[in-house]
A and B are shown apart, each in its own frame.
Chain A
Amino acid sequence: MAPPDQPPDHPPAHLAFRDVTGVRGGRDLFTGLTFTLAAGEAALVTGPNGAGKSSLLRIAAGLLAPAAGAVDAARCALMAEATALDGGLRLSAALAFWAALDGVPEPAARVAEALAATGLTAFAGVPVRLLSTGQRRRAVLARVVASGAPLWLLDEPANGLDTASLALLEELLAAHRARGGIALVATHSAIRLPDARTIAL
């Protein structure tokens, strides 16, 4: 067991893929993928269903080993389809559990800030199982915001979000990059990410 002991906010952000091959179910998804992202940069991963967008993000997160090549990534926060929030807990408590594991100072305050940033302050006391799909997606986004991780890996972050929430997501991404963070966003919908590189699979 290696409890996270990195300082939450400040290590320089970086993400580097070198000749990475992604394989799923014995089938090559992509080969020889090479790119680097430095502080403040972002990339959109695009491609049709099943092209390997999620696998690319899972490789970047270290959940999936690349079949070939090397990945070098800063501490990351992953927004995936699965929420990993305890349905029986109040939203603030469910997020505080993860913020505490992230090792951020004053997790409760961080969670409150993240809830405000995602427009969920009014739902802080509501059990997670009572939240709507879009609210849950925003809650998962709030966990990413609260983590203070320099590298954000967002898998279809726009799914289930209404127009206002999508604008919120774009603002949060811009603020994260302004602080020197990196974002890797897999999506098939239009997310405004100025000067972002596109990785087409």
Chain B
Amino acid sequence: MSALARLIARDLRLAWSGGGMVNPVAFFLLVAILFPFAIGPDAVLLARVGGGVIWTAALLAALLPVERLIGPDAEAGVFDQLSVRGFSMSGVATARMLAHWLAFAPPLMLAAVVAAGLLGLPGATLGRVELGLLIGTPGLAALAVATSALIAGLRGAGALAGLLMLPLAVPLLIFGGGALDPAAGAGALKLLGAVSLVLVAGAPFVAGAAMRVAME
């Protein structure tokens, strides 16, 4: 097993240990369930807003694990030990991003099927939601790791995480929601892909720099 694979395996184990990813997924479903209560049982209306509800819920759920993606390992000296062994912090952040996506995206996409059923979304819309999530969640995972590295070790890190991450996630939300339009969705999907790629490409360097600064 390569060193990168070992890091990803460790991060995945930590993500799942103690039911780690159960909370965000449960939270996601809960938000999706709250909307029908607030809006009322109008099936036509719910089917129309349901896709956007799922995207909003996904964004909020993505916020939950942010606080413990980087902070605990920074405090435990894990990054010091990796650095002594010649790992670059950007590489470590890349591994963490991959592991976070693997732990976060598949359960979320499964839960989206359940949420679509609860909101009465038509099958075609569900298909577009899932495609959008598949393209958008890597960007969301990248943003989560970068945010986590920036807030690691700060007081009130949890509250700061939302203030920092949600505004930056707005493009994902706009294009993810836009991709649900049957007529004009293709263009939005491409832009969603572009935003996601920019985040995935940039986040390891942002996170790596933040981790190095925290080390000194």
Contacts and interface: CB of A to CB of B under 8 A. Distances in A.
User: Do A and B bind?
Assistant: yes
Interface of A: 1-4, 61-65, 76-78, 80-86, 88, 97-98, 100-102
B85 A84 contact: no
| Interface residues of chain B: helix, strand, loop or mixed (majority) | helix
Main secondary structure of the interface of A (DSSP, over half): loop
B4 A84 contact: no
Given A3-B3, A101-B6, A78 B84 contact: yes
A78 B86 contact: no
The 6 closest A-B pairs by CB, nearest first: A82-B77, A1-B91, A3-B3, A84-B77, A84-B81, A84-B78
B76 to A, nearest CB: 5
B2 A83 contact: no
Nearest to A153: B84
Nearest to A77: B84
Nearest to A143: B81
Given A88-B17, A97-B10, 11 more contacts: A1-B90, A1-B94, A2-B86, A2-B88, A3-B86, A4-B85, A61-B84, A64-B215, A86-B10, A98-B81, A102-B85
B216 interface: yes
A165 B215 CA distance: 30
Interface residues of B, number: 29
Contact of B3 (A4, A76, A77, A78): A4
B86 A4 contact: yes
Contacts of B18: 88
A2 B18 CA distance: 31
Nearest to B79: A84
A109 to B, nearest CB: 17
B88 A80 contact: no
Chain B CB within 10 A, most for which of A1, A76, A82? A1
A81 B75 CA distance: 11
B130 interface: no
B82 interface: yes
A63 B215 contact: yes
Nearest to A5: B86
A15 to B, nearest CB: 14
A51 to B, nearest CB: 18
A65 B77 CA distance: 17
A172 B190 CA distance: 60
A98 B2 CA distance: 13
Interface in B81-119: 81-88, 90-92, 94-95
A82 B77 CA distance: 5
A64 B94 CA distance: 22
B173 to A, nearest CB: 32
B85 A101 contact: yes
